[in-house]
Structure 1
């Protein structure tokens, strides 16, 4: 059966044995034989045009025949001709994607090798290469949300199964430029395809619907356009892993009903629209990445009752509705920067072991109510970010029971006036932001004695009083210390300058700090500090301040930046041996996933 029907050959030439596409060094008789076979698999107007990838690939095959390296099959039937055809297809891919300028040639177009030998073993591109998910075992979301997997000695290029059929096409990060040719759809045995991080453009070819044995398809981090084909849930039923992230794709999400082997799906950083009610019958789906799109549907109560998702990221969309309570059974939940409303789901104080380890819901200003009283029951939590919402009440004491917590951001809500929350038992804490939490209290002394791993401490925009505790100097890992816009008083303790790793220090709008206080030691050119930002009141001696603030100048100081809390470099948080979420703190608002 012809791969292309005549209805698909718009503008075809009238002579099916045309020599117009033949190169000068190709024998006309050989060309006629090759052309007569390949006309079954490529439209004649492509073969007749010497500038197309199809014509160039056909000439390559004709030279192979002339050199007695291959024979023209006696039948056009694919079952007979597949070895000839698949080498032709790989040659089309090579020419369609500017093969001569690939970073690695990978043995492509080597006249002495069968197409099954067109590959290399590499070590330096492991993180960008997908292999068999049953072998690679595991999933990571790496820097900037990229999906990565693989092991040592990864094979890059083409591999074949025992029957000599191409079943593996993995060419990541190799400077491929151009559209994917539809002839790739002829390779019916293909199981694993990864063209991650290239410059591939155009849409997913309609002919890819014939790749019915696909297990892995990774087209992430390219320049592709168009929508996800509607045939996906009917033709790609064997698919286990699909990543189309970081492209320019758009349209509504197709129905994934019937994809009962799909375990990992990454569609983040595109322009998809519509609802997310298309995953009801994906019973093995564990990883769902939909962040940074234009999705505007509503959460619905049964969302997580039909899929066993472990990593759920829909951040930076326009989703509405309330967070279902069963989200606490998901290891990683990121719903920040949407239009969610309602309360943070209640936590029942019972003997249930909740799975959640990462929960980020900042930037949903219509979320209201109080932080759940028994939130301390979520003992697996390592990352909790509820900042920038409309939460009220106060920070509950049970937060101090989150003993595994490494990252806690609760700032910029609508809390009532409160004392400094007791968090002395959070000994693993690395980043703490209680910015704008309506705290009217002194900075507690236990801060420097018990939470010794702090790298970031943001207490700005409160009503803190008293002196800066000298024992903050024990926080030797501290890089970001933000104390601006409070009511602190007294001199700055000299011991504070023992924080040799300090990168950012703000003390602006603290009118009661002694006017004769100097932070000159921090500013010394020959000092040990690597300060990148210093902000203080103009009454203080500070020769290296990036900005000094007058008492009534509310526009002064970094406290006015709404993105301050989420603009730092973040640290990776590994939650288990085969699942992790690594945040990066990209300064681009659209990429602030973490």
Structure 2
């Protein structure tokens, strides 16, 4: 290293190898060019050496800093993992404690041993509900120590609704109704709007005291066994509604009578079995009983004397027992009673027609209801639907039936009625639907009173022993007719030209008579979808009914166009669906189109079903055939 001692004006050197001071060199007043160059070279070398040293130091410091940072990060990660493990362990320990508390509480609170035993098996709905409440519920309810704790009621409400979710395959519901969310249990519901614009709140619904008073989850793909035993613990319930889910099973609990505030029980269209518990007689507040379209059986004695019933739908089950004078006689507010398609027996009580509020009485399809029709009181104007077909009713139709002036739907078909038609039926001027088919009335012409029933849409006089001609006034006076069924009689003469004036006529059944002549050409102007003409003596060509390019072709024509010498010419397949011949039984179907009124359609006809998969919706064309 070379330095200049300014004080002494001489150069002082340090020998790197020997470590001593060399001989003195001559002094100069100024450095020589060589010294300048040498000094510059030395300085440059020193600078580069210093820079390299500095770079090494910087790298060393960087390595140290990076190492330190990595150590800190490692320490932090280790600390976080430690605390996370500690938190997880703590949460697991806490959940374990909560689980034991919940199990202990539920073993006390659940209503029966079967439910309590279910807590021991992981895959049962009871166990799944408990697990969700303990581990996954965002609200993390405090676990009550006993049923006397202040929070026990709310805990059980939430548990029962969670149990309902798991028991009915909640993961596959069409809509989760906000079940199993962090909302309060009273908010496990949603608003829905129907086709008519009406808005409904569905799900778990609470009253002003935040107690669940309504469980209404219709048409939502619930499947499984309804946990009725637990639901019975919700003593404030006024509505239980699980209608139209299709796959709900189970039986009504024996203690259902404990729900003394229940007003609506709606379980229609499911797979419920068993009988109606006797305790149902204690539900004096019950107004709507909708348990139709299930597999229920036994007698209905536990509900026939409930005083506040308004709507009772029992149809399409296996109920049995005697229909007598006490059958729902203690229900003065009864508006609808549908007990159709069951196995009831007995006679039709007269008191039904004395009830001023009754609008719908449907007892069809019981087969064992016999006896005569009762006398009908004067001016019973509220009754709108009377369906008694497919029973064993005998005798004639009393003239007092004319007192039922509010009737719109009267079906007495497929019984054992006799005698003549009573002209008093002409007073039923509100009738839209009149079916008297398949009875043993005395032979006679189409009754004249029918021409006064100008609001008729459906008229069936099939197999009623009619004779003579089809009257012209059917076409001129019954302008609203959509279905005219005169099948299976002894009618003769030609098809009246006036029938072509029935601009709404869609279904015309004239088969199995003695009609002659040809089909009127103006039938092409009618919206006919079904035309049944076989087993008559008609003639002519029917292909005119099937013009090429017709946008609304006649869907189903049956005629005597078969065999070696057909009476009628009609191209089978292209026009006539079925061609019969005189030598064989071709069309022996009953072609019944009875309207079995149901509350779901407001007792209005939505389709015409003739059996064998033949189903028509007139306003929309063919729905199947």
**Structure 2 length-normalised TM:** 0.73
- Corresponding residue for residue 211 of structure 1: 259
Structure 2 CA distance, aligned partners of 1:68 and 1:545?
Answer: 69
**Which of 372, 384, 397 is matched with 1:357 structurally?**
384
CA drift of 1:361 comes to 2.9
Partner of 1:522: 545
Which segments of 5 or more consecutive residues in structure 1 lack a partner in the other structure? 1-22, 128-150, 321-339
The answer to whether the aligner puts 1:222 opposite 2:270 as a matched pair is yes
Distance verdict in 2 for CA 1:26–1:545, change over 3 Å: farther
Query: Which residue in the other structure is 2:621 paired with?
Result: none
- The counterpart of 1:38, out of the listed 106, 109, 112, is 106
Q: Distance in 2 between matches of 1:429 and 1:165?
A: 51
Does 2:109 align with 1:61? Answer: no
Q: Find 1:404's aligned residue among 430, 445, 470.
A: 430
Quote the Cα distance in structure 1 between the aligned partners of 2:507 and 2:191: 43
* 1:335 alignment partner in structure 2: none
Match of 1:484 in 2: 511
Q: Tell me how far 1:347 sits from its aligned partner.
A: 5.6
**Residue 6 of structure 1: aligned partner:** none
Match for residue 392 of structure 1 among 395, 405, 418: 418
Give a deviation string over 1:102-161, Cα, whole Å, max 9, x none: 111111111x2111111111114x89xxxxxxxxxxxxxxxxxxxxxxx82211111212
SS of equivalent residue, structure 2 residue 201: strand
Contact 1:117–1:159 under 8 Å retained in 2:
yes
Do the aligned partners of 1:70 and 1:84 also contact (CA within 8 Å) in 2?
yes
* Paired position in structure 2 for 1:442: 469
- Asked if 1:184 corresponds to 2:231, the answer is yes
Measure, in 2, the Cα distance between the counterparts of 1:113 and 1:573.
35
CA positional deviation for 1:573:
11
1:529, CA displacement in angstroms? 4.1
Shift in Å at residue 208 of structure 1? Answer: 3.9
8 Å CA contact 1:255–1:279 kept in 2: the answer is no
- Do the aligned partners of 2:364 and 2:390 also contact (CA within 8 Å) in 1? no
Residues of 1 paired with 2:294 and 2:214: CA distance?
22
Q: Which residue of 1 aligns with 2:25?
A: none
| Residues matched between the structures, number | 505
SS in 2 for 1:158: strand
Give the ranges of 4+ consecutive aligned residues of structure 1 lying more than 6 Å apart after TM superposition.
23-26, 303-307, 569-574
TM-score by length of 1: 0.77
* Superposed displacement of residue 169, structure 1: 1.0
The equivalences for 1:15-164 within 5 A come to 27-42=95-110, 43=113, 44-63=116-135, 69-73=140-144, 75-77=146-148, 80-110=151-181, 112-124=182-194, 152-164=198-210
Q: Does 1:284 align with 2:356?
A: no
Q: Deviations over 1:474-514 (max 9, x none)?
A: 11111111222333223332222221x10111222222x34
* Residues 1:539 and 2:567 aligned together: yes
Of 224, 234, 250, the match for 1:202: 250
Aligned to 2:406: 380
Q: 2:311 aligns with which of 249, 256, 264?
A: 264
Give secondary structure in 2 for the equivalent of 1:496.
Answer: helix
Q: CA contact under 8 A between 2:356 and 2:380: conserved in structure 1?
A: no
Q: 2:359, 2:385 within 8 Å by CA — same for their partners in 1?
A: no
CA root-mean-square deviation: 3.2
- Contact 2:269–2:294 (Cα < 8 Å) also in 1: yes
Match for residue 469 of structure 1?
496
Which whole-Å CA distance do the structure 1 matches of 2:198 and 2:533 have between them? Answer: 49
**Matching residue of 1:420:** 446
The structure with the largest alpha-carbon Rg is 2
Q: Which has the higher helix share?
A: 2
Q: Deviations over 1:346-395 (max 9, x none)?
A: 567xx7454433333333455123x3346444332222233333333333
**Cα displacement (A) at 1:194:** 0.7
- Per the alignment, do residues 63 and 250 of structure 1 end up closer, same or farther by CA in structure 2, a change over 3 Å counting? same
Does 2:518 correspond to 1:504? no
**Structure 2, unaligned runs of 5 or more:** 1-90, 561-565, 616-625
**Counterpart of 1:424 in 2: which secondary structure?**
helix
Contact kept? 2:305, 2:328, Cα under 8 Å: no
